[in-house]
């Protein structure tokens, strides 16, 4: 698998209420994307479990190990890097919203536990992810055969400090499995993704779930792949589909040479410890 350039694929799939149906469909999409030449494939947040408090514990009781085993097999059999969206992961008595990353030999390369939990009071919707999940406490950046990869999950995108930290750790492509909703999706989804790419001059792959109309939590969909200049390379609507984009990592250096904002940080002025002038 050559490192550069390479094809990135985002599988925007609809999570079904029956686990086995979802897993069979996911495997088929991964195989299709790999057959089309994708070396890096990204799945959505909670791709194996309906995004609803009613299902989190129910699906966790089934064990996350089966999903991990299958994802490892998909990566190994198709010789790809797989960002396994996220799944409910149980560790002792704690539950995490976790994204597992696998290499082309099927080995687990990383696991990102969602750092910022979705606790909001929106018009027509109140949600407390913290009633179910424990937040992660680590930045996730990992070397893979195709790129140096950063991973975050959904609500993490609203915290630019996390993404700047990943970029400073050398992330070239940042993947964001997500399930924005029908309230925040139309207003904030695309602007948030593009500004994170622009701020850090990296490639950005946002993998949303396809919409399940009539379900208690309807996902906005609209997965995107964005270049370091903030230009969308591929974009979806709300339906199931696979997005593809050619990723040439030399584009990062090109953009940073033209707009060297990332290279000219003034930590002496705006770091937390910097003095603040009082007028």
Active site residues: 45, 114, 154
Cα→Cα distances 26→50, 120, 232, 265, Å: 14, 30, 24, 41
Residue with tokens 């008595």: 93
Return phi, psi of residue 212, to 5°: -115, 90
Q: How many CB atoms are located within 10 Å of the residue 218 CB?
A: 18
Burial class of residue 256, CB neighbours in 10 A (0-12, 13-18, 19+): middle
Distance spanning both ends of the chain, measured CA to CA: 57
Asked if residues 173 and 212 have their Cβ atoms less than 8 Å apart, the reply is: no
- Cα–Cα distance for residue pair 170/189, rounded to 1 Å: 24
- Cα–Cα distance for residue pair 74/102, rounded to 1 Å: 9
Q: What count of residues does the chain have?
A: 279
Asked if residues 111 and 98 have their Cβ atoms less than 8 Å apart, the reply is: yes
Number of helical (H) and strand (E) elements in the chain, helices listed first: 7, 15
């Amino acid at each position: 698998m050559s490192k550069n350039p390479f094809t990135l694929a985002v599988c925007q799939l609809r999570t079904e209420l029956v686990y086995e149906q979802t897993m069979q469909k996911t495997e088929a999409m991964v195989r299709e994307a790999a057959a089309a030449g994708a070396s890096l494939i990204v799945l959505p947040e909670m791709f194996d479990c309906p995004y609803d408090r009613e299902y989190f514990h129910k699906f966790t009781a089934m064990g996350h190990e089966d999903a991990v085993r299958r994802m490892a097999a998909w990566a190994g059999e198709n010789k790809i890097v797989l960002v396994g969206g996220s799944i409910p992961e149980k560790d002792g008595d704690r539950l995490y919203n976790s994204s597992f990353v696998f290499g082309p030999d099927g080995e687990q390369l990383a696991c990102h536990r969602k750092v910022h939990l979705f606790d909001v009071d929106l018009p027509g919707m109140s949600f407390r992810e913290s009633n179910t999940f424990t937040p992660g406490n680590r930045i996730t950046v990992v070397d893979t055969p195709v790129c140096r990869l950063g991973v975050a999950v959904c609500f993490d995108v609203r915290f630019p400090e996390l993404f700047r930290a990943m970029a400073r750790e050398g992330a070239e492509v940042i993947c964001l499995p997500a399930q924005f909703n029908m309230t925040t999706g139309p207003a904030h989804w695309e602007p948030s993704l593009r500004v994170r790419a622009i701020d850090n001059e990296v490639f950005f792959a946002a993998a949303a779930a396809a919409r399940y109309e009539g379900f208690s939590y309807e996902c906005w969909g609209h997965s995107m792949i964005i270049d370091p200049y903030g230009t969308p390379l591929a974009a979806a609507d709300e339906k199931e589909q696979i997005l593809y984009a050619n990723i040439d990592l030399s584009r990062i250096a090109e953009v940073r040479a033209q707009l060297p904002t990332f290279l000219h940080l003034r930590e002496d002025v705006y770091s937390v410890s910097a003095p603040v002038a009082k007028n």
